[in-house]
Amino acid sequence: MGESIKVALFGASGRTGQAVARAGAAQGLLIRASLRETTRAILPSTVEIIRGDLGDANHVRDTIAGTIVVCCVFGPGPPYTDVFCARATELIVNAMHRVGVRRLICQTGAMIGRDVANWTLPVCLMVRMFRWQRPAVAADRTRQEELIRESDLEWTLVKPPRLTDGPARGRVLADVDTRIGLLSKISRADLASFLVGECVAPRYLKQAVYVTW
């Protein structure tokens, strides 16, 4: 089904990224993974690796050129202080326009952005605390989403709650109206299947979709 689909994967070294690479390769997707110079990752042998920096426009363009789908699953790791997502996303959107790639799938998070209607009251309070503790990171991720929504690309924002490394259950609840509570979660394995599904057959074009168990 996905034999000829070429996917540029940004954030491929992360736990979601490696799960996407595995799930995508298993479905026959041709994956080109962007990795930082010193990053190590266990990726299937069919994955093409391009080393470079997400802040380097040439690296971003070279990763995207010749693909037909871009999938972004990067985000700051502990201590969650890196501010780079909006800038990297801007470079990705610009490069997609330049080389003529239209489909963009980007994972952010259920607590990023302004979709208050999707949050239970405790989650609203957590979002408020996160913004107070990490204002620059929170603003960066919100801007990342805005850049994608403002683009005229065929985008999908994928917004999971807490991620686990547990086994796949083989089912995902995905909806734009899903309410996220403090106990909401999803495994990276199921999330990766969902992301690969969106690479193969888009179902949520120009939508922000919440994905949980």
Ligand X SMILES: NC(=O)c1ccc[n+]([C@@H]2O[C@H](COP(=O)([O-])OP(=O)(O)OC[C@H]3O[C@@H](n4cnc5c(N)ncnc54)[C@H](OP(=O)(O)O)[C@@H]3O)[C@@H](O)[C@H]2O)c1
Name the site residues for ligand X (rule: CB under 6 A).
11, 13-17, 36, 39, 54, 73-77, 82, 84, 107-109, 160, 162-163, 188
- Quote the least distance from Cβ 53 to ligand X, whole Å: 7
Contact assessment for residue 51 and residue 40, using Cβ atoms and an 8 Å cutoff: no
Residue 14 or 24 having the CB closest to ligand X: 14
What is the DSSP secondary structure assignment for residue 113, as one 8-state letter?
S
Nearer to ligand X, 42 or 117 (CB): 42
3-state helix, strand, coil in the chain (%, to 5): 40, 20, 40
Alpha carbon 13 to chain centroid distance? 12
Give the shortest CB-85-to-ligand X separation in angstroms: 7
* Whether 70 contacts 96, CB under 8 Å: yes
* For ligand X, the closer CB: 100 or 165: 165
Q: How far is the CB of 4 from ligand X (least distance, A)?
A: 26
- In whole angstroms, the minimum distance from the beta carbon of 118 to ligand X comes to 13
User: Is 16 or 118 the residue whose CB approaches ligand X more closely?
Assistant: 16
Q: Is 77 exposed, middle or buried (0-12, 13-18, 19+ CB in 10 A)?
A: exposed
- With H, G, I as helix, E, B as strand and everything else as coil, classify residue 49: strand
Residues in the chain: 213
Closest CA to 94 of 45, 122, 55, 127: 55
Closest approach, Cβ 91 to ligand X, in A, equals 11
Q: Residue 73 or residue 208: which is nearer to ligand X going by CB?
A: 73
Strands 173-175 and 207-212: antiparallel
Bridge partners (DSSP) listed for residue 170 = none
